[in-house]
Structure formats: structure tokens, C-alpha cells
Amino acid sequence: MPELPFTLDQLRILKAIAAQGSFKKAADLLYVTQPAVSLQIQNLEKQLEITIFDRGGRKALLTEAGRLLLEYCERILNQCDEACKAIEDLNSLKGGTLVIGASQTTGTYLMPRMIGLFRQKYPEVSVQLQVHSTRRTGWSVANGQIDLAIIGGQLPGDLENLLQVIPYATDELALVLPSKHPLSNKKELLKEDLYKLNFVTLDSQSTTRKVVDKLLQDSGLEIQRLKIEMELNSLEAIKNAVQSGLGASFLPVVSIERELAAGTIHKAFIADLEVKRALKLITNPSRYTSRASEVFKKNILPQFASLDSPLRKI
Amino acid sequence: MPELPFTLDQLRILKAIAAQGSFKKAADLLYVTQPAVSLQIQNLEKQLEITIFDRGGRKALLTEAGRLLLEYCERILNQCDEACKAIEDLNSLKGGTLVIGASQTTGTYLMPRMIGLFRQKYPEVSVQLQVHSTRRTGWSVANGQIDLAIIGGQLPGDLENLLQVIPYATDELALVLPSKHPLSNKKELLKEDLYKLNFVTLDSQSTTRKVVDKLLQDSGLEIQRLKIEMELNSLEAIKNAVQSGLGASFLPVVSIERELAAGTIHKAFIADLEVKRALKLITNPSRYTSRASEVFKKNILPQFASLDSPLRKI
DNA sequence: GAGTCTCCATAAAAATTGATTATCCAAAAA
DNA sequence: TTTTTGGATAATCAATTTTTATGGAGACTC
């Protein structure tokens, strides 16, 4: 590993002298004394074993070696300036990348709106959204591939301790029926009515599915008695199936806002049963938090947080 | 003029850490202690107001800002390395340019051989030859446009003192006749025979012409009695004129070697008259001497110098 | 899970580097 | 000539950097 034969300061001085044609003027320009520039140039010449300036006449003129060095000097200093600007932009959120993680539901129905808001405020920060399972998202946050994420499922125990988990919002999983289903006229269903329905569900690996199963089970239902018409792996597909009258399903309300408004899907109420899950914000406290990430968490998320979230208070 | 927010040393350290994935290993690589590395990175982070490394785990990982900076860092350091190499090449004569000045005669007949020899030894140094009048060449040397030059005439007095003038070689100006000229049979001519000749000469502005006139005059000849058939401004043109039988001329022997060997031109000897002029090497002592110029003067010129030149002794 | 190791941070002391003031010298300008 | 200007040099002084020594936190080992 070779020693560096010059410093940026020396290059800066070299450039100044070349521009001003004089050691003294360069010194004035750089707000140092003339001996300082003299010594630095002498050091530079000694270290590179070249003569850079002809000091003979009234003006300090570059030698051939001097001209050669000046060329590189300008390039190097330009790169330095550019680097500074890039860093500044990053600091002032005029650049950089924010990587956000989310589970299927949040990623599909919530994040686009949030990211839109963020980009409106900081159009020069590029945002990347990664939709993965809770588990995978958790690991990505842990090893820094994702800056922050919102998940709806339960993290593996080891990650639970490693990451910072903040309750963020409550996501209601509504029971939805085809709008022309006989039961869609009843004001309120009973739990037992569920056994009469044909369900279209997410596949059993899905976090959302597990959450729903667990909540139903906790409320005293025997989930093996529920009839499952089919298992699909996309919420959109399930929505279409329900609208086509193929069956009922538990779907996040955020995912069916449009359909409810249009009346193509019916949301049913069940006595003594609310299927709700907590959405959680996860970050990695042991990692550097980018400015963009910070701002997203402080300014964007709270606007979508539920009232009981700690994020509301900020 | 903005302060530089980082030093090359810091960039070097940054690069080393990024490459090694560890502060300690970087320290070892750079032959410094680990705290030195730590502090420099801390300074860098403080000055740029960014976090560069996540120091959490086993390895030091770059943050987004770190990666951004590293990119510029590599570019900058590469430019530095390149600059060093270019300078080294210049020092070791593996690059650079040598600008040589010469008058018409030397430039045409002597320099090409010298430059050939030089380029054979240092093929990577590009050589530029500028053929101009003695006067103009002198000024070019004075203001540094030419590294060194060989002239055959007299410099203006002021330049004479400013420049270093070293006798370099003696250039004989031979009286040449058409080979079928009646006088070309005589073993030796008398001075008076010159009055019988028709001369083809360089134009009267030319340094060589002035030198010849002066030497003839000094030897007692009345130059206004010499018959001048025509004045041309090119030695080659004169050579052709002489070969065509149009007249006689005084020409530098170096310029007619080939013609003498071929017998197309006759060189006459004149009793008690030798027309010789001194070729002189001129350099500018108050200016930086490039390595190439140095080497040319020390190693190439002597091989072509006459025995009485100081350059021979080197 | 206690012990050990590794790696980074920190504090104080030592060394190196760089800047300044005060002259000096040489060359250009008057 | 004399004066002026620009650069070199020397000694002092200040700042930065490096080192030594030490502490603490996380990661492997048994």
C-alpha cells in the first residue's frame, strides 16, 4: 500500500496558483499566508520529485510536469466537489433510496398511498417497496436490506428481540359475502352461521390466513368445521371469487374499500366477534437510520396510524 | 472557496475498511493503529454529517451514505494513482514532450538524425521540432516554448546574456559548383576565382547568408563584386539550381553529403579561405529543465558534437 | 451460561505536521 | 539607482494525528 504522495490541500493550492499565476495571490485567495503555499508546493515538488512552477519571472508558470499534474488535480478536485454535493443531497433528502418492506396486504393497499405522499414531499428520494412474507421481511430488516417495514404477522422469537416493534395500526379482517348471498341481508350474523358458508381463503402458509384461523379458534369456533371451497394465494383473486358468488372470505377492510363502495361485495357483521390484527412497524435499532427512513417514520406513517398507535403521539 | 470536508487519507482508510470489512484489518493493512482508523472515520462522519459504517455486528458494513461516498472515493483514489503514474513516467522518460528548436540547416539535416537516436532510446517521449530563424528560436527558448535549440547565427545582444550559449559544432559552408563546371576540375581555387562565378544564394535576410557574407568580407573579398544569379529561400532549391548548372553557392556540408557522394555536385577548395560557422546550443538557465531535455543534451547531442565542443567532455 | 476473544470506542500523552510572523533575497519596475 | 513586488527561509507556535493504554459490548467456546 503506497503512501499518498500528495494531499488534497496541496492540490487545491496548486490549482489556485495556476489560476492566479502567483503564489501570493493564491495565498490571498485561500486565506493563508504566502509562506504556507510556498512550503506546500515545495513539499509537493519534493515528494513527486518534479518541478511544478518556474518562479523566474513576474508570474509563476507551470512546467510540463506542472501542467500534467494540474490536469489530474482538476479532475480530482471536481470529483471531490461532486461527492460533497451528493452527500449533501442525501442529507437534505434530495437523493438516496428508501427501502420499505411490507406484507402482501399492507404492501398492496396501504403502502402505495404512503409512498405517494412521501414522494410528493421528497420527489428526489427513490423508494423501493419489497413485498414479502412477514418472516422474510423480518430478516431483511435485521440484516439491513430493508430500512423499515410494516408487518401483520408474528415474528420469529429471535427476531422479536433483535428488532424494534411498534404497534402501528389495527387491520380489521372483515367477513365478506357475495352481495347476492342470502345471508347478506341479515343485519348481524351469529358465529354458527359461519359453518353454513363456503369459504374462499388464502393458502394455509399465508400469515394472514394463520392470523384469521387463530382468531376464530380463540373465539371458540371449530375451524375444521368451516367449509373451504378453495385456497388461493392472492387477495385480488379471492376478491374476484367472492364477487362471483363462489363463497365468503375474511379480507382486510383496506383491500375492499372500493368494492364496498361499489356494492359488489357485502361486509357482514358477526355478533361477539371481531377479527382484527395488529399491524406493526419494525425497524432495526442496531443499524444506521437513514434520514429518509427517519422522515418516513416520523412524518408519513403517523398520518395512517390508528389512534392507539404510539406513532400518533409524535 | 469552500473548505475541503475530507482528506485523501480518510478516503484511503474508508476504502480499506470497506474492502476488509473491519476497522482493525484496515488498520493493519495501512500500518497504523486501530484507534487512528476509528478517529479518522469519526472525523469524516462528523464533517460530512453522515454515518458511514454500521459497526454493530462482526463486520463493519457500509450504510447507504457510505456506499455513495465509497463510489466517489474509489474514483478519486484512482485518479490519484493515475496522476502518480503519469508523473513517474515523466520522471523516467516514459512520457512527456521535448520541444527542440533549430535553424533551417540544422533542423533539416542534423536534427532528424538526433531525434531518431533519442526516440530510439526513449520511444515514449514525443519530440517536437520547431524550425525557425535564429532570432525567433532564441526568443522561444527565452520564454520557455522551446526546451533547447541549436542555432547557427548570432543572437540579439539581450538574448545573448539571458541564455546559456554553448559552442556545439562547426559547420563548414562549402563552395559548391555544378559538377560539369569548368572550374570544378581545378584542385584548388583562388579567392579571385569567386568573382568569375555566378552565385545562387539564400535571400539576404537569412542568417546563413549573413554569416557567409561576413566571413567572405572578413577574408578580404569585396562581396558586392560577386555576381548573384538568383536568391532563393530554400537550401533544397539552391541545391537543385546548382545541380542544374545555374551557378555556384556556399552550402553547409551537412546538407550536401548525399549529392557529393553521388557526384552530382562538386565541392571546391579555396586557398586561404575556410568558410565555417559555429553552431551553438542554447538553453534557458533560468527555467526548469525537463528530464527529457537534460538527457537530450547530455546523451544525444555529444554524439554529434565536434571535438572542440565543451559537450564532448561530458 | 460463564469465560474468552475479538473488535471498536475513548482518553491522555507524544509526535508530527502545518501555519504564522519576521526577515531576506532577487528580479522587475520606476 | 531606488523602490517595489513576489518568493524563499527560519524560528516559533498551534493544531492535528498517532500512539499507548484501557474499557466495554457482542460473538464464539466449552
As a rounded value in angstroms, the CA-to-C1' distance for A296 and C14 is 47
Q: What is the pLDDT of residue A96?
A: 80
- CA-based end-to-end distance of chain B: 50
For D6, which residue's CA is nearest its C1'?
Answer: A24
Q: Tell me the per-residue pLDDT of B156-168, one tens digit each, with 9 for 90 and over.
A: 878 888 888 888 8
For the cut 80, the answer to whether the pLDDT of residue A2 exceeds it is no
From chain B, pick out residues whose CB is under 8 angstroms from the CB of A148: none
The answer to whether residues B304 and B204 touch, using CB atoms and an 8 Å cutoff, is no
For the cut 80, the answer to whether the pLDDT of residue B188 exceeds it is yes
As a rounded value in angstroms, the CA-to-C1' distance for A8 and C15 is 22
| pLDDT, average across residues B170-178 | 92
Q: Tell me the per-residue pLDDT of B247-271, one tens digit each, with 9 for 90 and over.
A: 999 999 989 989 999 989 999 999 9
- What confidence tier does B175 reach under pLDDT thresholds 50, 70, 90? very high
Q: What is the pLDDT of residue A8?
A: 93
To probe the interface with B, which of A13, A15, A75, A87 has the most B CB atoms within 10 Å?
A87
| pLDDT, mean over chain A | 88
Q: Does A87 touch chain B (CB under 8 A)?
A: yes
* A230-244, A296-310, B184-198: range with lowest mean pLDDT: A296-310
Chain-centre distance for alpha carbon A78: 31
How much of chain B, in percent, has pLDDT values that exceed 70? 96
Rounded Cα distance, A204 and A130, in Å:
22
Rounded Cα distance, A254 and A211, in Å:
16
Q: Tell me the per-residue pLDDT of A99-158, one tens digit each, with 9 for 90 and over.
A: 999 988 889 888 999 999 999 999 888 899 999 988 889 888 887 888 999 998 888 878
| pLDDT, average across residues B54-79 | 85
To probe the interface with B, which of A80, A94, A98, A164 has the most B CB atoms within 10 Å?
A80
Among partner residues A64, A86, A90, which is closest to B97 by beta-carbon distance?
A64
| pLDDT, average across residues A274-290 | 86
User: Under an 8 A CB cutoff, do B90 and A9 touch?
Assistant: no
- What confidence tier does B311 reach under pLDDT thresholds 50, 70, 90? low
Q: What is the pLDDT of residue A1?
A: 45
Q: What is the pLDDT of residue B57?
A: 66
Rounded Cα distance, A27 and A37, in Å:
6
As a rounded value in angstroms, the CA-to-C1' distance for A265 and C5 is 63
For the cut 80, the answer to whether the pLDDT of residue A287 exceeds it is no
Q: Tell me the per-residue pLDDT of A52-75, one tens digit each, with 9 for 90 and over.
A: 998 866 788 888 888 989 989 989
Q: What is the pLDDT of residue B314?
A: 44
Tally A–B CB contacts below 8 A: 113
The answer to whether residues B94 and B124 touch, using CB atoms and an 8 Å cutoff, is yes
CA torsion sign for A202, A205, A206, A210 is positive
Q: What is the pLDDT of residue A308?
A: 67
For the cut 90, the answer to whether the pLDDT of residue B139 exceeds it is no
Q: Tell me the per-residue pLDDT of B225-252, one tens digit each, with 9 for 90 and over.
A: 999 989 988 888 999 999 999 999 999 9
User: What element of type H or E holds B235?
Assistant: helix B235-243
| pLDDT, average across residues B276-287 | 87
From chain A, pick out residues whose CB is under 8 angstroms from the CB of B90: 50, 64-65, 68
Rounded Cα distance, B261 and B179, in Å:
12
How much of chain B, in percent, has pLDDT values that exceed 90? 35
For the cut 80, the answer to whether the pLDDT of residue A312 exceeds it is no
| pLDDT, average across residues B81-108 | 86
Rounded Cα distance, A94 and A292, in Å:
10
Question: In chain A, which among 204-233 make CB contacts under 8 A with chain B?
Answer: none
Q: What is the pLDDT of residue A282?
A: 92
User: What element of type H or E holds A283?
Assistant: strand A276-283
Neighbouring residues of B285: CB distance < 8 A, sequence distance ≥ 6:
B163, B164
A47: closest CA among B276, B8, B73, B264? B8
Neighbouring residues of B49: CB distance < 8 A, sequence distance ≥ 6:
A91
How much of chain A, in percent, has pLDDT values that exceed 90? 36
Q: What is the pLDDT of residue A227?
A: 93
User: Under an 8 A CB cutoff, do A8 and B4 touch?
Assistant: yes
Report residue A172 as a C-alpha cell.
Answer: 380489521
Report residue A90 as a C-alpha cell.
Answer: 442525501
Assign residue A96 a region: left if phi > 0, alpha if psi is -120 to 50, beta otherwise? left
- What confidence tier does B312 reach under pLDDT thresholds 50, 70, 90? low
- Residue that is written with C-alpha cell 549529392 in the block: B259
Q: What is the pLDDT of residue B309?
A: 66
B263: closest CA among B191, B180, B200, B148? B180
Single pTM value for the model: 0.72
Rounded Cα distance, B266 and A286, in Å:
97
Q: What is the pLDDT of residue A250?
A: 95
| pLDDT, average across residues B268-283 | 91
- What confidence tier does A314 reach under pLDDT thresholds 50, 70, 90? very low
Report residue A103 as a C-alpha cell.
Answer: 406484507
| pLDDT, average across residues A173-195 | 90
For the cut 60, the answer to whether the pLDDT of residue B25 exceeds it is yes
